[in-house]
Amino acid sequence: MTTFIVRRLLGAIPLVLGIATIIFFVVNLAPGDPALRFMSPNMSQEAIEQVRVNLGLDQPIPIRYVRWLGALGQGDLGVSFSHNRPVLDVIKELLPNTLLLSVSAIGVAFVFGILLGILQAVRQYSLLDSVASIVGLFFYSMPSFWLALMMVLVFSLFAYELQWPIQFPGTDIQSVDYAFLSPLEKVQDRLLHLTLPATSLALVLAAGIARYTRGSMLEVIRQDFVRTARAKGLSEPVVIFKHALRNGLIPVITLLGLYLPFLFSGTVFIESVFSWPGMGKLVVDAITERDYPVIMGGSLVFANMVVVGNLVSDMLYAVVDPRIRYD
Amino acid sequence: MTDASLSAVLPGFPQMLKGRWGVGGMSLTVWLGLLGVLLNRWARFGAGWGGPLDHQIASLTVVAGLLGAWGWSMFDVSRPAEMERSGIGQWSLTARAFKKNRVAVIGVMVVVWIYLIALITPLIAPHDPATQASLLTARLVAPGGEFPLGTDHLSRDVFSRIMYGARISLSIGFIAVGISVTIGTLLGAVSGYLGGWVDTVVMRFVDMVISFPRLVLLIAIVALFESNSIFLIMAVLGLTQWPGTARIVRGEVLSLREREFIEAARALGFSRRRIILRHVIPNALAPVIVTATLGVGNVIVLEAGLSFLGLGLQPPTPSWGSMVSDGRGYLLDAWWISTFSGLAIVLTVVAFNLVGDGLRDALDPRLRT
């Protein structure tokens, strides 16, 4: 297992390098001038040149590429143009927020999606199955940003207007008076702020997971070993959860790896709707502000998350399915 | 009353009576719907012939749709019975399996109708999508009356804008998927058939593109190139969509190339180009059709997302994503702007996904989920 992980990590190096190269050239070959943001019409020519030198933009692109790659090798992502701080510091600050959002969404989505999928498979063609399939298809086809807006509309705006007992905040990660709350209230405040964004992300994901689980469970349930398990008198929950589910989960786990890039696009929209201070919003803002180091650093982080996600799902295969051995 | 005379008045109705409600219902709804448009918008229909191109296309669509529905039904009832059972190829088997899937058939009807509406919008839209009514009296008007789905912050009719927005979403979906399917099929087939270093290079490249956060690339290209051209968006969406198709086609080709008929083609001395284009690709098309259909929905959502982030087409071009984004600032005062334009996206994508699922079940039972 260890050799497998090491081999996979080594194999990922050219992949990450290739991605870094694509990112660099897409960003740097695009028309437009990132130095413009520091300039005003009444600056002298020397001052303008000095800005370019300071930002390292006076060099030709191949040299900038080698320099950037060299710094990257030492764990240096450069200094952000708009934040005036090292990119790494900015990412360190915002990455936990995004992880909080995406991990809780993935967790909720997988638990609910798998449970619903099992239920649908066990009661195939029942009313529950058809209703869940149709409703699931709608959520599956929904743009996450629209779902998020509708959640805000109903659970914060209408809830406030109609004075519902529970109203969820529709923006930001914590309340303005967060610093003055007691520890218990702090946790409560965080949870309230997390609910809407995580739910809107999780609903879209769970719909896909349920579809997938249903299909794969249906295949497994018809197999001989399940009949054997029933025949030897095991109770239905044991048959389903211990015998069938473990085999039915194998394809579902592939989804975990596949969903990580999708999750990024999800967080971009969700963070933008909820003004959630996270990586997605950081990269989108950086792109509109032409903050080249942040664009490159941020997308690199996301690409790495995808690579790690694929690795994790390969390792989970071995956990769920002992027949798979990576030696 | 004979079938033929019934069909002359209500095309598709005789077929529906015989239980073929899918095709019958489609021609009947198209016939009745377009007839209704023709009668209600007679003046616009007549004026359309000398108007701008989209107006001409709209009038042409009405005529073609009416003639098509009527002609098909008349041909169908008058043809001899033995013709119906001619040939049971792969495609007629697929069609038969597909027709049994009621939800998928409804999906096809919805897709056809969305395309029809997109084409005849100039005839039926109550208002111009870009023209503002009075900013004083018609701003953020609630749904009902003159504005069926209300007006937006610039007092434009939301209903008309949604109908005009369908064109953007549908054409981007169609063309981007066309690009991606062409590239994906060709690369996947070549890579799978030739194997060796070609395969390694192509597949490593596919791995790289797949692990790339696609949205970052899309946003970066659209934002940094500072272009709101519809062609740029179509091209970028199409050029980033193909790796999935390439992988699937390659997998299919790997097993196809060991089959006897390919060996026979090789033994006959056909060129590799001919074998790939004429023998390999046609046999690998089933999963491609499925991914293409599902891909249309995917692309429509992505385009809406780009527009939502303000990276879509130039205003005032109506696009569903930018309408959702417009309504965001007025959620409490005017919930209808975001809600209805988002519902349009959901309806379209659901319809395409239904068709895609139905096609998958009909074409390839192994892929069923």
Q: Identify the pLDDT of residue A281.
A: 86
Query: Are B117 and B62 contacting, i.e. CB atoms less than 8 angstroms apart?
Result: no
The chain B residue lying nearest A16, using CA atoms, is B208
Q: Identify the pLDDT of residue A2.
A: 79
pLDDT range class, residue A20, cuts 50, 70, 90: confident
pLDDT range class, residue B368, cuts 50, 70, 90: very low
Q: ipTM of the predicted structure?
A: 0.85
Rounded to the nearest integer, the mean pLDDT of chain A is 83
Interhelix angle B102-124/B158-194, rounded to 10 degrees, is: 130
* Residue recorded with tokens 């008058």: B78
pLDDT digit string (tens) for A121-151? Answer: 888 888 888 888 889 889 988 888 899 999 8
Is B216 part of the contact surface with chain A (CB cutoff 8 Å)?
yes
pLDDT digit string (tens) for B198-239? Answer: 888 888 888 777 767 777 778 777 777 766 678 888 888 888
- The mean pLDDT of A35-63, rounded to a whole number, is 79
- The mean pLDDT of A246-270, rounded to a whole number, is 76
pLDDT range class, residue B347, cuts 50, 70, 90: very high
- The mean pLDDT of B132-143, rounded to a whole number, is 73
Q: Identify the pLDDT of residue B180.
A: 93
Longest dimension (CA), chain A: 88
Query: Are A195 and A99 contacting, i.e. CB atoms less than 8 angstroms apart?
Result: no
**Residue B214 amino acid letter:** R
Token representation of residue B109: 């009807």
* Residue recorded with tokens 């409804």: B106
pLDDT range class, residue B85, cuts 50, 70, 90: low
pLDDT for residue B184 is more than 80: yes
The radius of gyration computed from the CA coordinates of chain B, to the nearest angstrom, equals 24
- The mean pLDDT of A237-247, rounded to a whole number, is 86
Token representation of residue B201: 């290079």
Q: Identify the pLDDT of residue A325.
A: 65
* Residue recorded with tokens 């109550």: B126
B269: left (phi over 0), alpha (psi -120 to 50) or beta: left
A299: left (phi over 0), alpha (psi -120 to 50) or beta: alpha
pLDDT for residue B179 is more than 90: yes
Residues in chain B within 8 Å Cβ distance of A150? 338-339, 342
pLDDT digit string (tens) for A193-213? Answer: 888 999 998 998 898 889 888
DSSP B142: P
- The mean pLDDT of B357-363, rounded to a whole number, is 83
- The mean pLDDT of B289-306, rounded to a whole number, is 89
CA pseudo-torsion sign B209, B210, B212, B217: positive
Query: Are B222 and B233 contacting, i.e. CB atoms less than 8 angstroms apart?
Result: yes
Q: Identify the pLDDT of residue B369.
A: 43
Rounded to the nearest integer, the mean pLDDT of chain B is 83
* Residue recorded with tokens 């060796």: B196
Rounded to two decimals, the pTM is: 0.86
The chain B residue lying nearest A213, using CA atoms, is B369
Q: For domain B158-363, which CATH number applies: 3.30.420.40, 1.20.1600.10, 1.10.3720.10, 3.40.50.150?
A: 1.10.3720.10
pLDDT for residue A69 is more than 70: yes
In angstroms, the CA B311 to CA B223 distance is: 6
Nearest to A226 by CA among A251, A247, A253, A250: A247
DSSP B367: G
Residue ranges covered by each domain of chain B: 3-83, 158-363
How far is the alpha carbon of A189 from chain B, nearest alpha carbon, in Å? 23
Is A140 part of the contact surface with chain B (CB cutoff 8 Å)?
yes
Selected for mutation to probe chain A from B215, B232, B354 (highest A CB count within 10 Å) is B215
Instruction: Report DSSP letters for A181-246, one per residue.
Output: S-HHHHHHHHHHHHHHHHHHHHHHHHHHHHHHHHHHHHHHHTSHHHHHHHHTT--HHIIIIIIIHH
Query: Are B320 and B344 contacting, i.e. CB atoms less than 8 angstroms apart?
Result: yes
* Residue recorded with tokens 């007992």: A165
In angstroms, the CA B305 to CA A145 distance is: 7
Q: Identify the pLDDT of residue A190.
A: 85
DSSP A181: S
DSSP element (H, E) containing B194: helix B158-194
In angstroms, the CA A64 to CA B246 distance is: 34
Neighbours of A53 (CB within 10 A): 12
Residues in chain B within 8 Å Cβ distance of A264? 213, 215-216
- The mean pLDDT of A242-253, rounded to a whole number, is 83
- The mean pLDDT of A256-280, rounded to a whole number, is 79
Query: Are A66 and A21 contacting, i.e. CB atoms less than 8 angstroms apart?
Result: no
- The mean pLDDT of A43-57, rounded to a whole number, is 79
